[in-house]
Structure 1
Amino acid sequence: MPAPSSPTGQSAIRPAHELIAHDGYLSCCRFIDEQSLLTSSGDSTCIFWDVEKNEAITSFVDHGGDVMSLSVLPSINRHIFVSGSCDATAKVWDTRLGKCVQTHAGHESDVNAVQFFPDGNAFSTGSDDSTCRLFDIRSYGAVNVFGNDKIVSGVTSVSFSASGRLLFAGHDDSSCLAWDVLADGKGLAFQLAGHESRVSCLGVNSTGEALCTGSWDSLLKVWA
């Protein structure tokens, strides 16, 4: 029997699984492995799922506002993840313990984006307060703050270069800024300009040779 067609004439693809438990919008989802998934939501929680069983295993409920983003520790044992929330904090969680193990404060507004450093010992945050911060989970604190008085737009997304030397940040004002992680956080490494509306997402490819930015201007741009 042929696959059912959509109104456009293309074959419709049906979902293999449907996961239901959140009470708010879904802001982010990340696979841990082929059977495990993490999600974050406007209901102020994150959920750890068994995809094959269509079952919510653990709910993480310590945030006091919408959870906007999450990132999974880049290692073989992917039990640790970090989340960013509208309560202006980032929290580190352990799925084995089912609870928060670190809370990182410092931002003055919503934390919209989080991303682990390539070696897993630190993570970056991006906030509506127009700054990014680099938190070290070993020293339990911020080791750099990226921003200056000329930057007044909120940060929507963050990603590291393959080496971790550069931190890329997408902004509400259509810009993408690149920061040198080892330098003074007030000076930019460079800026990418080309979008006509807010940069809503970005990511670096696995080889580190290209950056892709997505914008409300309906365009994706690849920078090499």
Structure 2
Amino acid sequence: MACQGLQKGETLESLKRESETLKKKLEEERNKLNDVELHQVAEKVEALGALSMKTRRVLKGHGNKVLCMDWCKDKRRMVSSSQDGKVIVWDAFTLNKEHGVPLPCTWVLACAYAPSGCAIACGGLDNKCSVVPLSLDKNENLAAKKKSVAMHTNYVSGCTFTSSDMQILTSSGDGTCALWDVESGQLLQSFHGHTADVLSLDLAPSETGNTFVSGGCDMKANVWDMRSGQNIQSFENHESDINCVKYYPSGDAFASASDDATCRFYDLRADREVAVYQKDSIIFGASTCDFSLSGRLLFAGYNDYTINVWDVLKGTRASILFGHENRVSRVRVSPDGTALASASWDSTLRIWA
């Protein structure tokens, strides 16, 4: 099929070479516009004072690796999912477990809280994303009310509700992202553009945000328009899988964390990477990242059990958080910015403040 449209004298090889030269030309044109790096602009900015964050709570209850967690908008509750096949809803103040939902598969890779706080979504190796309505009755069988909303042809790696409880975005190992209607389970829009597993997605933070960013095993970070399904920006700077992408609080930029042991910062208006967060002493992959509420700090969890805190503007490391006994799978700053929660393969969650 692919060869039908070839002109005379053209081969796939010659077309490949042509596309490579065009790519190089585009890069050169792009680079002509690059004037300064972020840390040069930030030279006059005051350095950060010493950060003293400590573990304030340890949440124990999962029987295996904790793979994902999310905060509720009420700044108090959290949901976490684990390789033990369970999803737990916690009260982060009292450490009480409010709900436990067993799922038919182990490796629940993704979980998310609905904006209203009345439901959670989760998915994993069963290729499905399910929504579970939460109730005040502690004894109610939530697993029976679980509703399958999304179906992929491979594992579900990430899920997030859009600005309402009615729509959900998923990313999958089948190389696509998709937007679903929660009520009917219908596919509203699919996003094709990655050439390998999509490992992470994040929704633009503004209320009217119609864009989201995704990252995956093809080392690409793509920005999408949710209404048209078009890939509007693409960044290829990493040298290994992108494990996590996260929007800057203003929505004008995003960060990515990768197995190449770096985190990178991209400005969408400048259409390029503006900072790299790395140190020669850091040789382990970064699995997750999140910004502080002001956007000045970037928290990144690594496979060497630590969380590094980066000064976003200066590009320097502000602090290291030690405490977990296995790789850190997820970090999330609470909605009011007062605490950081981390999930780990040591089967615990920690809250730092």
TM over 0.5: yes
TM-score (norm. length: structure 2): 0.59
Distance 1:71 1:115 in 2: 6
Please state how far the C-alpha of 1:202 moved relative to its aligned partner.
Answer: 1.0
Pick from 131, 138, 147 the counterpart of residue 17 of structure 1.
147
Matched, 1:202 2:328: no
After superposing on structure 2, the runs of 4+ consecutive aligned residues of structure 1 that deviate more than 2 Å are: 14-17
Please state how far the C-alpha of 1:16 moved relative to its aligned partner.
Answer: 4.7
Write the deviation string for residues 76-113 of structure 1: whole angstroms up to 9, x where unpaired. 11210000110001000001111110001100000000
Matched, 1:41 2:183: no
Aligned residues: 215
Structure number with higher relative contact order (C-alpha < 8 Å, ≥ 6 residues apart):
2
Question: After the TM superposition, which residues 103-114 of structure 1 pair with which residues of structure 2 at under 5 Å, given as runs?
Answer: 103-114=234-245
Question: After the TM superposition, which residues 70-219 of structure 1 pair with which residues of structure 2 at under 5 Å, given as runs?
Answer: 70-183=201-314, 185=315, 187-219=316-348
- The match for 2:186 is 55
- The match for 2:352 is 223
Distance 1:195 1:16 in 2: 32
Aligned residues of 2:304 and 2:327 also touching (Cα < 8 A): yes
- The match for 1:30 is 160
Distance 2:173 2:309 in 1: 29
Gaps in structure 2 of 5+ consecutive residues:
1-101, 103-138
Gaps in structure 1 of 5+ consecutive residues:
1-5
Distance 1:99 1:133 in 2: 23
Distance 1:94 1:15 in 2: 32
Please state how far the C-alpha of 1:11 moved relative to its aligned partner.
Answer: 3.7
AA aligned opposite 1:181? V
Aligned residues of 2:241 and 2:260 also touching (Cα < 8 A): yes
Considering only CA atoms, is the larger Rg found in Structure 1 or Structure 2?
2
Aligned residues of 2:199 and 2:243 also touching (Cα < 8 A): yes
Pick the structure with more helix per residue.
2
| Structure 1 residue matching 2:151: 3-state secondary structure | coil
AA aligned opposite 1:44? G
Distance 2:349 2:187 in 1: 33
Q: Percent identity?
A: 45
Distance 1:203 1:43 in 2: 26
Distance 2:304 2:345 in 1: 11
- The farther-off stretch of 122-131 and 69-78 is 69-78
RMSD of the alignment, in Å?
1.4
Distance 2:147 2:342 in 1: 29
Aligned residues of 2:149 and 2:184 also touching (Cα < 8 A): no
- The farther-off stretch of 109-118 and 18-27 is 18-27
- The farther-off stretch of 107-116 and 50-59 is 50-59
- The match for 2:111 is none
Distance 1:159 1:200 in 2: 12
